[in-house]
Structure formats: C-alpha cells, structure tokens
Amino acid sequence: MTTLGDFSATSIEGQQTDLSTYQGQVVLVVNTASECGYASQLPALQQLHETYRDRGFTVLGFPSNQFNQEPRDDGDIATFCERNHGVSFPMFSTVEVNGDGAHPVYKWLKDEKGGAFGSKIRWNFTKYLVGRDGHVVKRFSPTTEPEKLVDTIEEALG
C-alpha cells in the first residue's frame, strides 16, 4: 500500500526531498497561500510544530496558487512565511493541488481521504494528518483552526 514515504517533493530551497525522511513521524500536510485569509493560521501551525516535534511530529507546507492567492515565487514565500509568521517547519516548492497537474502527493492524499464535497480541494489551508504508518488519519477543512487538531495529533502520537 502506498504511504507518504513513497513520494518526493522539491523543497522551497530547490532540493529534492524524499518524504520517507518523515517515516515514523506524525505529519500535518497543509496547502498554504500567503495572501489567503487563512494565512493567519501559520503562527498556530508553527506552534503545533514546535510543541510536538520532539515527540515525532512535523508540519509540511505546500504553497499553491491554484486559488490565485500565492503570487510570490518560492524565495519570496520562504522569506514572507519566516519573517511575517515565524515559520520554520519544512516548506516545499509551489504545487498544484487539483487537476491533471496536481502534485502526486496531493493526488494520493485526496484518494486517501476525500472531503465533504468529494476529493477536490476547495481552498487553501486544507489539512491532512498522516500517522506514523504513513497513512492519512484525517482530513480537515481550511476553517479548522490548528488548535482544534491537538486531540487528534495527541492520539496519533500515541
């Protein structure tokens, strides 16, 4: 069966990253956009990352401009997220999350857990919690504040 570790992605710094690096960890995958109203969730996502990283948890951010809210290039995204929101969790190069051009990890995530209106991602800051076994535990809507994920993260961490 396919797991998160079967994929790779380009880091925001331009390095190919094998996602098996995160095997055995609990991972929150989020499609981000700096001009989205939900970008205000970035500090709370960073807080989750800091609170739980010593227990084997990380947040992975995948910027996307499919909703026309991420006009920056990768370098500017990294600077913006770090300077304005204190983001230090891993960020990746801008990807598509829907359609034929969707990044393979997003095709897999959507196949694993569809949303209320099918598998299509409807907006930025859709969140997928992946368990230590590399399988999707749960999908969360963009409106779900990161603080509301604590119980599910705690349960996944064991």
Point out the residues that are catalytic: 36
Among the residues of the chain, which ranges form H helices? 42-52, 74-85, 104-112, 150-157
Work out the angle between the directed axes of helices 42-52 and 150-157 (0-180°, nearest 10).
30
Contact, 102 vs 96, CB < 8 A?
A: yes
Contact, 150 vs 140, CB < 8 A?
A: no
